[in-house]
């Protein structure tokens, strides 16, 4: 099997360039149509991009004016192009850079989602940002992003990863390559230095933000990361373990959708009031986890039942599916940064498990009919790991992967953001605001909390607070959920970077499309959570205090 690290790969792993961040004030560029159209003729040679490419080309450069009724971003030059690969068999990296006519001197890079394959919405608000706040582009940020180095109609499609260059682009390279291209365009458009570079995203985009700061700490000033797939390989192994738990022995561990819903409703009812408020949110999730054994007992079948009953849990469903879903797994070997486990999810604390609508595993697995993580795990194992031979998901053992183990460990060092030493980034003044939902069924909140705890153990609590804030948000799923927090997160990050003012008792507003829209809660630093004071309007953040017990 071909190694990830050929001669080219070994070189690019060591490259990290620092850029000038001299402050400056900027006003609108006169006669914007001329500079924008001039960019269309620009060619970017390979030596302007710090990782190996064959250069970049411009597909189009279009001036978007304020006269266009759908434009809420002010006047800007929309530039789309491609970064050409070294390997002629690898796909291009398609990118978009938006250059506002009134530039504030700052750049904001947008992350993607899933296995990517399409451009992120670089003209929209930030992930979890307030709708009533102008978009970053309207505020004067140059905004940009890419498809991560391949094109696909479905973000679950990982077939691109059979090509080494495309896989490395997805893992981390596209982040830096597109930043370099954006800086060339900024130089051409404004002829002024860049003041700050920020990154924002959720899920894969959250991982990309942490990756950007950890791999190139001198090039990024601030990161907004939301529910990141930080332990990417660990998550994919968890999906493979879940598939075996659910579908082995004629799907003995599969739990029908109605029973999955019943488990969630029962646990929510049992745990809702542990934070002092019956508000549909489990804020004291650790207190709720302490009740898990009793909840399982109350839901278990009273007799020896086989198959998939619809009103109680069998021994197979409890010992297999709920065990890995709620408790996770441990490995007899270590992934990158010494990680040998993946904690489970709050599946007995009110979230709805994503186990699929069908008892049988399709070949290949399909999200929806099958468990979400089974599908994405198969895509990973088939295209990143096994590659050249068909993979049988139900014959793969995450604890004993045989000849595939070295490849899996190697990949964990390429794709992921599990470093615990952030000294290079923090020492130069970099800042990170990190949100994770308790109700997330896609990325383990316990896993990201454990990673944050490892960072604190490595660096010390006070040093971590100097550059990072980590918030566990009750009710937040993988975006959306029972409580979808929105706040002016980019301004909070910018104030921290520019003025040394960290977020102070921030308040988030619920944007769920339901009767709870508009309610507010304090954003509590982990390990604290919003506790109801005992009186006052439950719709208001002022009625809650951040508590650890």
Cα–Cα dist 76/251, whole Å: 54
Out of 364, 385, 414, pick the residue that ends a domain.
414
272 and 331 co-located in one domain? yes
Out of 379, 414, 449, pick the residue that ends a domain.
414
Neighbours of 526 (CB within 10 A): 19
* Angle, helix 292-299 to helix 257-271, in steps of 10 degrees: 140
Task: Give the residue numbers marked as catalytic.
Answer: 203, 440, 478
394 and 255 co-located in one domain? yes
Give domain status of residue 23, yes or no. yes
- pLDDT tens, the chain, 549 aa long: 444 444 333 333 322 322 233 333 344 545 566 789 899 999 999 999 999 999 999 999 999 999 887 899 999 999 999 999 999 999 999 999 999 999 999 999 999 999 999 999 999 999 999 999 999 999 999 999 999 999 999 888 999 999 999 999 999 999 999 999 999 999 999 989 999 999 999 999 999 999 999 999 999 999 999 999 999 999 999 999 999 999 999 999 999 999 999 999 999 999 999 999 999 999 999 999 999 999 999 999 988 777 788 899 999 999 999 999 999 999 999 999 999 999 999 999 999 999 999 999 999 999 999 999 999 999 999 999 999 999 999 999 999 999 999 999 999 999 999 999 999 999 999 999 999 999 999 999 999 999 999 999 999 999 999 999 999 999 999 999 999 999 999 999 999 999 999 999 899 999 998 889 999 999 999 999 999 999 999 999 999 999 998
Give domain status of residue 534, yes or no. no
Give domain status of residue 493, yes or no. no
Cα–Cα dist 33/62, whole Å: 8
Out of 156, 178, 200, pick the residue that ends a domain.
200
Q: Do the Cβ atoms of 71 and 65 come closer than 8 Å?
A: yes
Give domain status of residue 438, yes or no. no
Give domain status of residue 530, yes or no. no
41 and 106 co-located in one domain? yes
195 and 256 co-located in one domain? no
Cα–Cα dist 437/453, whole Å: 16
> What was the pLDDT predicted at 327?
98
180 and 248 co-located in one domain? no
**Sign of torsion, CA 410 414 420 421?**
positive
DSSP track, 495-542: HHHHH-----S-EEEE--SSTTTT-EEE-PBTT-EEEE-SSS-TTSGG
> What was the pLDDT predicted at 35?
85
Give domain status of residue 367, yes or no. yes
**Cβ contacts of 251 within 8 Å, gap of 6 or more:** 308, 359, 360, 361
Q: Do the Cβ atoms of 121 and 332 come closer than 8 Å?
A: no
275 and 169 co-located in one domain? no
**Cβ contacts of 7 within 8 Å, gap of 6 or more:** none
28 and 161 co-located in one domain? yes
In 211-348, DSSP assigns E strands to 222-226, 329-330, 341-342
The residue range of the domain holding 318 is: 234-414
Give domain status of residue 410, yes or no. yes
Neighbours of 10 (CB within 10 A): 11
192 and 260 co-located in one domain? no
30 and 175 co-located in one domain? yes
> What was the pLDDT predicted at 9?
36
Q: Do the Cβ atoms of 393 and 374 come closer than 8 Å?
A: yes
> What was the pLDDT predicted at 70?
84
Cα–Cα dist 136/198, whole Å: 11
Q: Residue 229 to residues 48, 106, 282, 507: CA-CA distances in angstroms?
A: 30, 26, 23, 25
171 and 296 co-located in one domain? no
> What was the pLDDT predicted at 349?
96
41 and 169 co-located in one domain? yes
Q: What's the structural domain count of the chain? A: 2
Give domain status of residue 38, yes or no. yes
182 and 240 co-located in one domain? no
Q: Residues 305, 306, 309, CA angle at the centre, nearest 5°?
A: 75
> What was the pLDDT predicted at 12?
33
Cα–Cα dist 38/17, whole Å: 27
Give the max Cα distance, the chain.
79
């Amino acid at each position: 099997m071909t190694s990830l690290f050929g001669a080219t790969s070994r070189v690019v792993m060591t490259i990290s360039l620092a850029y000038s961040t001299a402050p400056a004030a900027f006003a609108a560029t006169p006669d914007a149509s001329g500079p924008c159209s001039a960019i269309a003729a620009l060619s970017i040679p390979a030596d302007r991009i710090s990782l190996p490419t064959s250069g970049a080309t411009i597909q189009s450069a279009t001036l978007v004016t304020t006269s266009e009724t759908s434009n809420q971003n002010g006047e800007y030059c929309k530039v789309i192009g491609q970064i050409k690969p070294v390997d002629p068999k690898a796909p291009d990296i398609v990118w978009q850079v938006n250059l506002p006519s009134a530039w504030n001197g700052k750049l904001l890079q947008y992350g993607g989602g899933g296995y990517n394959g399409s451009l992120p919405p670089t003209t929209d608000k930030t992930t979890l940002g307030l709708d009533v706040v102008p978009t970053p582009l309207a505020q004067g940020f140059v905004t940009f992003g890419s498809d991560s180095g391949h094109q696909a109609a479905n973000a679950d499609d990982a077939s691109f990863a059979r090509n080494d260059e495309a896989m490395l682009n997805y893992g981390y390279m596209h982040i830096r390559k597109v930043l370099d291209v954006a800086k060339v365009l900024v130089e051409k458009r404004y002829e002024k230095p860049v003041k700050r570079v920020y990154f924002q995203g959720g899920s894969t985009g959250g991982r990309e933000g942490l990756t950007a700061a950890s791999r190139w700490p001198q090039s990024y000033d601030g990161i907004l990361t939301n529910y990141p797939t930080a332990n990417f390989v660990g998550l994919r192994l968890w999906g493979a373990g879940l598939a075996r738990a659910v579908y082995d022995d004629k799907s003995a561990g599969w739990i029908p959708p109605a029973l999955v819903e019943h488990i969630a409703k029962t646990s929510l009812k049992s745990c809702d009031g542990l934070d002092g408020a019956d508000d549909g949110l489990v804020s004291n999730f650790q207190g709720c986890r302490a009740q898990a054994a009793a909840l399982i007992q109350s839901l278990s079948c009273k007799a020896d039942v086989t198959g998939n009953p619809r009103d109680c849990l069998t021994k197979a469903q409890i010992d297999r599916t709920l065990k890995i879903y709620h408790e996770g797994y441990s490995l007899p070997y270590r992934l990158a940064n010494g990680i040998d486990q993946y904690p489970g999810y709050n599946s007995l604390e009110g979230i709805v498990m994503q186990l699929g609508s069908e008892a049988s595993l399709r070949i290949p697995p399909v999200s929806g009919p099958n468990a979400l993580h089974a599908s994405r795990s198969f895509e990973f194992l088939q295209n990143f790991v096994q590659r050249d031979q068909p993979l049988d998901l139900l014959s793969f053992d995450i604890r004993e992967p045989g000849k595939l183990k070295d490849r899996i460990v190697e990949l964990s060092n390429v794709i992921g953001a599990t470093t615990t030493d952030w000294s290079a980034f923090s020492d130069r003044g970099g800042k990170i605001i990190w949100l994770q939902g308790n109700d997330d069924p896609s990325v383990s909140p316990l896993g990201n909390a454990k990673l944050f705890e490892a960072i604190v153990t490595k660096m010390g609590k006070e040093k971590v607070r100097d550059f990072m804030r980590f918030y566990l948000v009750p009710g937040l799923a993988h975006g959306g959920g029972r409580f979808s927090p929105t706040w002016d997160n980019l301004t909070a990050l910018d104030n921290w970077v520019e003025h040394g003012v960290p977020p102070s008792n921030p308040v988030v507003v619920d944007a769920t499309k339901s009767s709870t829209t508009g309610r507010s809660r304090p954003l509590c630093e982990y390990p604290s959570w919003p506790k109801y004071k005992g009186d006052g309007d439950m719709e208001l953040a002022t009625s809650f205090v951040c508590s650890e017990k």
